Amino acid sequence: MNMHYTILFYETPEDFARRSDPERQQEYLAGWSHYVKALRESGIVVSGAGLDAPSTAASLRRHGGEMRVQDGPVTETKEQLGGFFVIDVPDLDAALEWAARCPNNAVEVRRNLPPMK
Amino acid sequence: MNVHHAVEQAARDSYGRLVAYLAARWHDIATVEDALSGAFVAALETWPRTGVPDKPEAWLLTAARRKLIDGARRARVQAKAEPALLAMAEEARRWSRSDEDFPDERLRMMFMCAHPDIDPSMHTPLMLQTVLGIDAARIASAFIVKPSTMGQRLSRAKAKIREERIRFEFPDESELPQRLGAVLEAVYAAYGSGWDDAAGADPRRKGLTGEAVYLGRLLVRFMPDEPEALGLLALMLHCEARLEARRNAAGSYVPLSEQDTALWSRVLIGEAERILSCAAQAGRIGRFQLEAAIQSVHAQRAYTGRTEWEEIALLYEGLVRIAPTISTHIGRAAAVAEARGAESGLALLEAIPAETIASYQPYWALAAHLFKRLRRDEDAHAAYSRAIGLCTDPSVRDFLQRQAGQQ
């Protein structure tokens, strides 16, 4: 029986910069478009999206009942979430195989919890 | 020689021998590995004071035996373990005093790791761990498996060996060919872990190729007349000979047909050729000899400047009859395309069932190449995209991107 796994793609500031740099944008996008195409044509994609750069993020945090909104992501790490795919594959090994094909250098795989009743 | 170096050397040379020796008598690989790692720690503590003993293996065996006694006491199985422990003590004493070499039972160990009762996907990891002492995390990375999962699978396999007393004995005549086949497959899988395809990518990426060649040499030492063991070693050595030619100065991937043959190792090619002709003397052809023969034809380009594609195509036709794997079918299609034209190659490629190649990168890379040659630009474009998207090696991805761009 197949399971849903989420592949989370982490990108460096450099990766995010390439997205909007006219000279490197095309190469960046080409790498992803081939990967996305291979995923989709293999018929395993449940859903997925690329995410805007972390600088566009807004985070909310409740402090003692008071909600504070701030600019930027929840955690300030060097690599930030740049996009994700939910895929439908038999097991973790298969999910890792797909993760290994992604064009960037840091990627995390997690099994999705079953939907809540 | 400094002590740490001496211990390391002993570890590499003796680890498999000691595991094999102990596992044959104790039937519990996990316990044996624990005892042995305890013995190596003891050696690191003791040898700097006492010097490295003349017979490090006998010393390590004695130390490991002590750990096993402690363990047996705790598990209250000492009475049952007593005869084996006594025999070990006697044997350790004998080896430390005689010129006799420590017994080498690694071949039995390899056969046990490839036992039909053990999940075939675990044959290679088990062999890498027990014969070479490679840790689960490194094995996991080589096969792209979660390390904790790999650890659990290894433990389960060892538990099965212990509980079901999977026999350590050498398989008898009737089951030997099948069991040997499994051992060869396991060694080849270790070699293949560093590759996208046997003719291609960078072995340094994951790097179990050196270990696989070591296992291959070990097999041949134990079975010098077995043609398929020789064939497998020849195959791996032919691939190893091209190590320096697979990347250009900029580190980019160079496909076999464009490699500078001046960079191929003549020494390794020569050794592979000698081994392959030894194998042929048995008059018993097999999958690995055929694969090695194909690589041997490729190697001739270093001397003649050309590749005899028709010869390679014929060898592949033999190979698909013995080993009809996807990779063999694709190799044949590539050879036929070179020998008899892109259309003939494409026809073979298109006969492969679609569901088997949906995510098989070499298929799409070859399809793209053949479409391009036939000027079917749209098909080529789509196939290149698919091949690039399925790549795990960035340098192969770059190579395909350049190929796609040259349309």
DSSP-assigned states of every residue in B179-240: HHHHHHHHHHHHHHTT-SSTTSS-TTTT--HHHHHHHHHHHHHH-TT-HHHHHHHHHHHHHH
Bridge partners of B128?
none
Where does the pLDDT of residue A115 fall: very low under 50, low under 70, confident under 90, or very high at 90 and above?
confident
Look at B130-139, B165-174, B289-298, B365-374 and tell me which has the smallest mean pLDDT.
B165-174
What is the distance between the alpha carbons of residues B194 and B196, in angstroms, rounded to a whole number? 7
Q: Are B36 and B17 in contact (CB under 8 A)?
A: no
Is pLDDT at B395 greater than 90 in this prediction? no
pLDDT in tens, B217-260: 999 999 999 999 999 999 999 999 999 999 888 888 999 999 99
Reported as a pLDDT band with limits 50, 70 and 90, residue B43 is confident
Q: Could you tell me what percent of chain B has a pLDDT over 90?
A: 59
Of B212, B122, B218, B165, give the one whose Cα is nearest residue B23.
B165
Please determine, for residue A58, whether its predicted confidence score (pLDDT) is greater than 80: yes
Q: Which amino acid is at B119?
A: D
pLDDT digits (tens, 9 = 90+) for B16-42: 889 999 888 888 899 999 999 889 888
Tokens of B183: 């051992």
Q: Residue B204 pLDDT more than 50?
A: no
Q: How far apart are CA B61 and CA B44, in angstroms?
A: 14
Q: What is the ipTM of this complex?
A: 0.89
B392 touches A at CB < 8 Å: yes
A111 min Cα distance to partner chain B (Å): 12
To test the contact with chain B by mutation, choose from A36, A39, A101, A107 the residue with the greatest count of B C-beta atoms within 10 A, namely A101
3-state helix, strand, coil in chain A (%, to 5): 30, 35, 30
Of B369, B329, B373, B335, give the one whose Cα is nearest residue B350: B329
Of B359, B385, B401, the CB nearest to A37: B385
pLDDT at B164: 87
Position B196 scores a pLDDT of 45
Neighbouring C-beta atoms of residue B46, cutoff 10 Å: 15
CA distances from B133 to B67, B122, B127, B137 (A): 18, 15, 9, 12
Instruction: Tell me the shortest Cα–Cα distance from A61 to chain B, in angstroms.
Output: 33
Two tokens, residue B407: 């349309």
The percentage of chain A sitting over the pLDDT mark of 70, rounded to a whole number, equals 100
Distance of residue A72 Cα from the nearest chain B Cα, in angstroms? 31
The encoded tokens of residue A28 equal 């960046």
Any CB–CB contact under 8 A between B354 and chain A? no
Instruction: Name which of B176, B175, B188 is nearest B288 in CA terms.
Output: B188
A interface with B, Cβ–Cβ below 8 Å: 30-31, 33-39, 41-43, 92-93, 96-97, 100-101, 103
Contact assessment for residue B35 and residue B64, using Cβ atoms and an 8 Å cutoff: yes
Q: What pLDDT does residue B339 have?
A: 97
Per-residue pLDDT tens over the stretch B308-347: 999 999 999 999 999 999 999 999 999 999 999 999 999 9
Q: Are B385 and A31 a contacting pair at CB < 8 A?
A: no
pLDDT of B199: 39
